[in-house]
Structure 1
Amino acid sequence: MEKSQRIITGHDLKAMGYPPAKWYRKALEHINDNILTEEEMKNYLEQYKLPEQKFLFDHPVSYSLNISADNELEEDNVKKVKETMDQVMRTPTVIGGAIMPDACPAGPIGTIPVGGVVATKNAIHPGMHSADICCSVMLTDFGAIEPKKVMDAAHESTHFGPGGRPRGQQFQLPDDLLEAFKTNEFLWDDKSISIAREHLGTQGDGNHFLFVGQSAKTGNTMMITHHGSRGPGARLYAKGMTTAERFRKLLSPQTLKQNAWIPYNSEEGSDYWEALQVIRKWTKLNHKIIHETVSEKIGKKVQDRYWNEHNFVFKNGDTFYHAKGATPLDKSFMPDITGPRLIPLNMAEPVLIVEGPTTENNLGFAPHGAGRNMSRTQHKRNLEGLSAEEIFKNETQDLDIRFYSNEIDISELPSAYKPASVVRNQMTDFNLGNVLDEVIPYGSIMAGDWQKNAPWRKRKRR
């Protein structure tokens, strides 16, 4: 067959049944530069052919339920967790899963619950790591020093609430990280880079915290931070969901939107995986900046430091483990591991320092915290009749608890969470990690109810 001189365009590729995609530009350059024949062009384009549509499984893929219930409230929570996980496990990419003792629903039925782990084949599901990509915890051991000194320095150093640091108080984004943002298809835009600068050294709101306590074994004072990737991660998640939705319409329209996926062996899949690693690096730096600033203020060298994420996607060959609030035990999930893992429970309970083996039922994961048996709203309803000050006094006695906004958030007080003893007992029952040490609480800092006196609320009250 003679080679055609006609310029092949995207319209031609679309007419041949190939939906518009990132690879169009590269393919068109190759086809036209080499003046491929029709047969050569068909053979070349075979690599971009989409697989056949996939349909929901008739029944959920089996998964491990590492949670039990001792009362009516817990039974209701487990029932709801199982209902939503059963739908998640019908997604056609899924090959395994697990539920942790701190599990609770996190959206409409079919949304991966908090405390859920879902393993998929060659597929990354942005909805299964959610907007708070790489939510994680870091511990620094400061040795022998009064906890209050660390607490005061930390309060001066950290930043909670919406937005980033104002100009003049921002930290430098390292050149290599800046270059990584600029060269990734999902991260290169000016807004993402600007927010990556502004949000360094910030912790956000919700259940994120800065915790100070002392090792039960050594008595050393330790500081632990808990937060994720802030604005940069949220923007990556939004772009990932848009890309996954495009693939969902082509590959599996039956699949729930929140469970849409990006095929890893696509160009978009490769770019998204690399973007996740950049965001992981940014988040780790975000923790480190706060810890280093405190270290400088108190004039103490770091005795030890380690960290782990508990809201991320972990890769092993062509299997992707989506942990929506689950602590990785398996060392293969963390190439830069420097110590054991951390499981915070609530502000009045110790932070657990753990290690443990990978088993058939835990898939290499442990709980990430205490979890909730009820929503924040329901918890507040249960305490109606008591003032925030009364509740705070009852639940934080002998602790140095501070809210960055100076407004108490009762939905983050200990009673908002499952009893820590329940989670610890079930960790033992289901072999979900061994406790090596505990960080006994001195105090913690959280954002607090920063919306209470937000400008729009003040205007509304006026």
Structure 2
Amino acid sequence: METTISLEEILILGDIPENLQGNFLRIANGLIQKAGYSQEKALGLFAQMLLNPKKYAYSKNKVNNLAKDLFELEKQNKKVMLTEAGKVFLPPEPPAYVLDQKASQTKAVFELTDNDLPYQIYGLEHIEEGALKQMKTALSLPISVAGALMPDAHQGYGLPIGGVLATTSNTVIPYAVGVDIACRMCLSVFDIRSDFFKRQPHLLQRTLTDNTKFGMGGEIAHKFDESVMDKVEWTATKVIRNLKDKAYRQLGSSGTGNHFVEWGIIEVLADDDLLAIPKGEYLALLSHSGSRGFGGGVAEYYSKLAMQITRLPKEAAHLAWLDMNTQEGQEYWIAMNLAGDYASANHHEIHNKIAKALGEQPIKRVENHHNFAWKDTLTDGTEVIVHRKGATPAGPNDLGIIPGSMADPGFIVRGRGATAALNSASHGAGRVMSRTKALNSITQSSLKKVLQEKDVHLIGGDLDEAPMVYKNIGTVIAAQTDLIDVLARFTPKIVRMADANRKEKRED
């Protein structure tokens, strides 16, 4: 005899509206008879859903539709409350993250030093004066140890985009990491011939439009793998806990500005043991995005906190640091690394969903952060924190992706471990024009002409990301041959970006 569950047993959980009782009963017995749930496990799932219907309404699960109905009631101030008897069925709470008990950082005023630290500049002739001035200021900090400037560098806030800064091992600068913490590249290579674009263009376009969302309103209801949200670090601090719900809703979405998801052709040019793909042309999916509202919220809070605690001259104010040996520094470090895991999961959501829609599995995935800080050791044994704000890790065993623009190629590279560059390379082509200037000077007709010439189909996007606003990617790559070896070339064909009316403030 099959085990079943009665309506009376379900009503122990709460005062469930009569019009939903039949659905509860049907789903409960489906879970028991078809999915192999025990009565206790089924009631436990319902209890969790009643406690947080919004979470279950925005995820792919066995009670998704029922959760949507309950969430609608909650929005009408008719929330079905979980009873005390129902709470017995809740699974035990996971252990909370315990921070080391560190003292708070003492507020202090610092002056810039007269030490003119030498640093390597790559592609000097392609770098604007403002970026050079910002880098000089950064290297005048009393905590600075070494630095380098990549050929795509341009002016930002505090540290220039394309700047690499090593500071003492107990200091981290939130603005030297950037606003979009752990902004990231991810490439999936499929063993599919490049002529697939001619045979199935509509299928490829549909996989992008159906499986991507961009901008502040970009929230994803169905998740492929939400396990990143189970990490204990989400309990570590009040700032993280307050941003968790937003992070969950935005998991699998992309930002605005230069963020994209695109299909293209990858041509493997060299045999390499790390890339491990035979020479030839393949279908490939490339994405660029970061940690969304979660990373932005963390950056905003801790950047302001750092500037309140560490007082610097006006020209260096955005380079305020947190002491890693204090509560504030530990909190930021945990949040930053969690943002890195979250950014990676964002890309994996997109790539896994699109691969599923295509009915294929990638033969290789390449990915890397930029906008992050790493603990490292210099060649002389000095322990440091290396901030790469718009720079790609390029150690001897690092694979990285350096994109061009929506109409220009990107490159898969292997780092050469150049110590003068602090094991870094550029993160893209680099802008030559501000967003405001681009919107005021570039026309839709000129953008359309370039896209037609390059045979690129654009979905969304705006004039401030037109190819003309970027440096020549070939020139940028040529300026860093000491830093990287080029293994493959990626040519974009179908590009999905945020629509023109979904803009957020962006630094890059």
TM-score, normalisation: structure 2? 0.70
AA matched with 1:289 = E
Candidates 283, 308, 311, aligned match of 2:343: 283
- Residue ranges of structure 2 left out of the alignment (5+ in a row): 1-99, 269-279, 378-382
1:144 aligns with 2:178: no
What aligned pairs does 1:62-211 form with structure 2 within 5 A after superposition? Answer: 62-69=118-125, 74=126, 77-107=127-157, 111-121=158-168, 122-144=170-192, 146-147=196-197, 148=201, 149-165=203-219, 168-169=221-222, 173-174=226-227, 177-189=230-242, 192-211=243-262
Q: Percent of aligned positions with the same letter in both sequences?
A: 28
**Cα contact 1:91–1:255 (8 A) shared by 2:** no
State the 1:64 CA deviation: 1.2
**Cα contact 2:411–2:486 (8 A) shared by 1:** yes
1:236 aligns with 2:289: no
State the 1:186 CA deviation: 3.7
**Cα contact 1:367–1:432 (8 A) shared by 2:** no
**Cα contact 2:256–2:502 (8 A) shared by 1:** no
Aligned-partner Cα distance in 2 for 1:434–1:175: 33
Find the residue that maps to 1:216 and give its secondary structure: strand
1:410 aligns with 2:463: yes
Alignment partner, residue 35 of structure 1 = none
Q: Cα–Cα, structure 1 residues 364 and 181, in superposed 2: closer, same or farther, change >3 Å?
A: same
- Residue ranges of structure 1 left out of the alignment (5+ in a row): 1-24, 28-46, 332-336, 455-462
**Cα contact 2:263–2:283 (8 A) shared by 1:** yes
1:362 aligns with 2:421: yes
Moved more, 124-133 or 169-178: 169-178
Alignment partner, residue 446 of structure 1 = 497
**Cα contact 2:137–2:316 (8 A) shared by 1:** no
Aligned-partner Cα distance in 1 for 2:256–2:174: 21
Find the residue that maps to 1:55 and give its secondary structure: coil
State the 1:358 CA deviation: 1.8
Q: Cα–Cα, structure 1 residues 253 and 354, in superposed 2: closer, same or farther, change >3 Å?
A: same
Find the residue that maps to 1:82 and give its secondary structure: helix
- Post-superposition CA distance 1:133-189 (Å, at most 9, x none): 0001001112115243434312210111222316x4466642763532123354122
1:327 aligns with 2:387: no
Find the residue that maps to 1:442 and give its secondary structure: strand
**Cα contact 1:209–1:225 (8 A) shared by 2:** yes
Find the residue that maps to 2:128 and give its secondary structure: helix
Q: Cα–Cα, structure 1 residues 436 and 54, in superposed 2: closer, same or farther, change >3 Å?
A: same
What aligned pairs does 1:255-266 form with structure 2 within 5 A after superposition? Answer: 256-266=316-326
Give the paired residue count. 382
What aligned pairs does 1:301-320 form with structure 2 within 5 A after superposition? Answer: 301-316=361-376, 318-320=383-385
- Post-superposition CA distance 1:21-51 (Å, at most 9, x none): xxxx979xxxxxxxxxxxxxxxxxxx88969
- Post-superposition CA distance 1:226-271 (Å, at most 9, x none): 001010001111121133123214xx57783201111112132222
Aligned-partner Cα distance in 2 for 1:394–1:274: 44
TM-score, normalisation: structure 1? 0.76
Q: Cα–Cα, structure 1 residues 389 and 349, in superposed 2: closer, same or farther, change >3 Å?
A: same
Find the residue that maps to 1:295 and give its secondary structure: helix
Aligned-partner Cα distance in 2 for 1:26–1:215: 49
State the 1:65 CA deviation: 1.1
Find the residue that maps to 2:420 and give its secondary structure: coil
Q: Cα–Cα, structure 1 residues 312 and 26, in superposed 2: closer, same or farther, change >3 Å?
A: closer
Alignment partner, residue 475 of structure 2 = 422
Find the residue that maps to 1:314 and give its secondary structure: strand
Alignment partner, residue 26 of structure 2 = none
Aligned-partner Cα distance in 2 for 1:153–1:48: 49
Alignment partner, residue 90 of structure 2 = none
Aligned-partner Cα distance in 1 for 2:215–2:101: 44
State the 1:344 CA deviation: 0.4
What aligned pairs does 1:42-53 form with structure 2 within 5 A after superposition? Answer: none
Q: Cα–Cα, structure 1 residues 208 and 396, in superposed 2: closer, same or farther, change >3 Å?
A: farther
AA matched with 2:161 = V
